[in-house]
């Protein structure tokens, strides 16, 4: 029921508020504004909303605690000490043997679930095994076998980075952390992006890495991280978000989503295509499932139409693609590694 004798329903009200959001920093929101000036204006505002500095910092300390040689790569588990002193756990996958010349760098961003274990192909139970085998969620391993030095962190709220009170809770550890982060004025998504940037600080300080080939990819919540980190960090040279890119109006603001997807105030500033447009003219591959129920394909296509317009304005229409997998909410590897090979040196 959309209307009563006294007024409108709460559902109708929120749809109206989304429709009427100002989008003050959207592409084309200021007449006569150049493309570069628009990007700079939105980039500054995004950093403000995420409450992060958004720039490289001194190389953080890193310590590894275990190593295992596997088929085509060496897997190390370690910790990076972030600038707020948090020990951020991550896996490092190094191609074995190493490719000739310098290696590209890949951040493989996990989504909701067990954390960093899925992208490195570690199944903690049968459910994880199905996610990996049927959903191609071992994209960290895929990256290493494609020749990338691959970083797979736990994002705050997952894996080793959950509150002690949440260890035995069936809900995601990010729920309560998201709420506390909002109360502190430090959105959890911004904290995660900052961790990703600091891990890149460390990786790009190595003498065997190639700054021309710095990529990021991930599924679902990893797609969220892919889009936001690539919008913020100009060192990333190609990106492939999977099963996230769509429109805020048609996904995040239209149905239930975890609190860690939300950035206070962002709806009044820009749509998802505008944030992705911060990455132009660098290559971006949008991956979507035609049967994805939480990031509906119609919203994906609408967002992609808007994003193509932004890339065209940047003079790089050929650098953005949409790959549609004939399935649901999962990773689709079919185009990813070829796309990166074609678009990067």
Q: What gap in Å lies between CA 95 and CA 238, rounded to an integer?
A: 20
- Residue 1 pLDDT: 46
- Residue 56 pLDDT: 86
pLDDT at 319 over 50: yes
Q: Give the number of other CB atoms < 10 A from CB of residue 11.
A: 10
Q: Give the number of other CB atoms < 10 A from CB of residue 230.
A: 29
Give per-residue burial for 308-324: e unless 16+ CB within 10 Å, then b: bebbebbebeebbbbbb
pLDDT, tens digit (0-9, with 9 covering 90-100), for 145-158: 999 999 999 999 99
pLDDT at 234 over 90: yes
pLDDT at 207 over 50: yes
pLDDT at 14 over 50: yes
- Residue 172 pLDDT: 65
- Confidence band (pLDDT; 50, 70, 90) for 167? confident
Average pLDDT estimate for 98-119: 96
pLDDT at 120 over 60: yes
Q: What gap in Å lies between CA 193 and CA 49, rounded to an integer?
A: 12
Cα→Cα distances 96→92, 139, 141, 212, 285, Å: 12, 17, 12, 21, 27
- Confidence band (pLDDT; 50, 70, 90) for 171? low
Which DSSP category does 37 fall into? H
Can you give the residue range of the structural domain that contains 147?
3-343
Q: Does a cis peptide bond (omega within 30 degrees of 0) precede residue 255?
A: no
Q: 247 near 303, Cβ under 8 Å?
A: yes
Average confidence score pLDDT of the chain: 96
- Residue 166 pLDDT: 83
Query: What is the domain count for the chain?
Result: 1
- Residue 165 pLDDT: 87
Q: What gap in Å lies between CA 38 and CA 42, rounded to an integer?
A: 6
- Residue 275 pLDDT: 98
Three-state secondary-structure class, residue 278? coil
| Helix, strand, coil fractions of the chain, as percent rounded to 5 | 35, 20, 40
pLDDT at 4 over 70: no
Q: Give the number of other CB atoms < 10 A from CB of residue 165.
A: 9
- Confidence band (pLDDT; 50, 70, 90) for 84? very high
Average pLDDT estimate for 56-63: 95
Average pLDDT estimate for 109-130: 95
Q: 260 near 188, Cβ under 8 Å?
A: yes
Average pLDDT estimate for 54-75: 96
pLDDT at 317 over 50: yes
CATH number where 301 lies: 3.40.50.1820
The larger pLDDT score, comparing residue 268 to residue 55, is at: 268
What are 77's strand-pairing partners? 66, 91
Question: What is the model's pTM?
Answer: 0.96
């Amino acid at each position: 029921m959309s209307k009563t004798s006294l007024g409108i329903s709460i559902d109708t009200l929120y749809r109206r508020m989304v429709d009427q959001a100002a989008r003050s920093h959207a592409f084309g929101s200021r007449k006569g504004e150049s493309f570069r000036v628009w990007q700079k204006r939105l980039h500054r505002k995004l950093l403000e909303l995420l409450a992060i500095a958004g720039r490289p910092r001194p190389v953080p300390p890193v310590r590894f605690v275990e190593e295992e040689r596997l088929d085509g790569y060496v897997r190390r588990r370690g910790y990076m000490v972030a600038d707020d002193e948090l020990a951020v756990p991550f896996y490092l996958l190094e191609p074995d043997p190493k490719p000739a010349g310098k290696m590209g760098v890949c951040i493989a961003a996990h989504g909701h679930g067990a954390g960093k274990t899925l992208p490195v192909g570690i199944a903690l139970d049968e459910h994880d095994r199905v996610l990996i085998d049927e959903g191609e969620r071992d994209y960290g391993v895929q990256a290493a076998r494609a020749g990338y030095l691959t970083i797979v962190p736990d994002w705050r709220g997952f894996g080793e980075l959950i509150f002690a009170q949440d260890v035995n809770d069936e809900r995601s550890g990010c729920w309560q952390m998201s709420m506390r982060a909002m109360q502190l004025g430090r959105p959890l998504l911004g904290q995660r992006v900052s961790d990703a940037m600091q891990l890149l600080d460390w990786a790009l300080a190595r003498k065997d890495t190639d700054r021309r080939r710095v990529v990021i990819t991930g599924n679902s919540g990893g797609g969220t991280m892919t889009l936001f980190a690539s919008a913020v960090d100009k060192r990333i040279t190609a990106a492939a978000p999977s099963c996230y890119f769509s429109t805020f109006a048609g996904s995040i603001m239209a149905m239930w989503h975890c609190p860690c997807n939300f950035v206070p105030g962002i709806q009044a500033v820009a749509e998802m295509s505008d944030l992705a447009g911060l990455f132009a003219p660098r290559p971006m591959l949008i991956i979507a499932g035609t049967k994805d129920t939480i990031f509906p394909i119609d919203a994906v296509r609408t967002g992609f139409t808007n994003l193509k317009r932004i890339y065209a304005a940047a003079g790089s229409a050929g650098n953005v693609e949409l790959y549609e997998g004939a399935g649901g909410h999962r990773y689709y590897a079919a185009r990813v590694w070829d796309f990166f090979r074609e678009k990067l040196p």
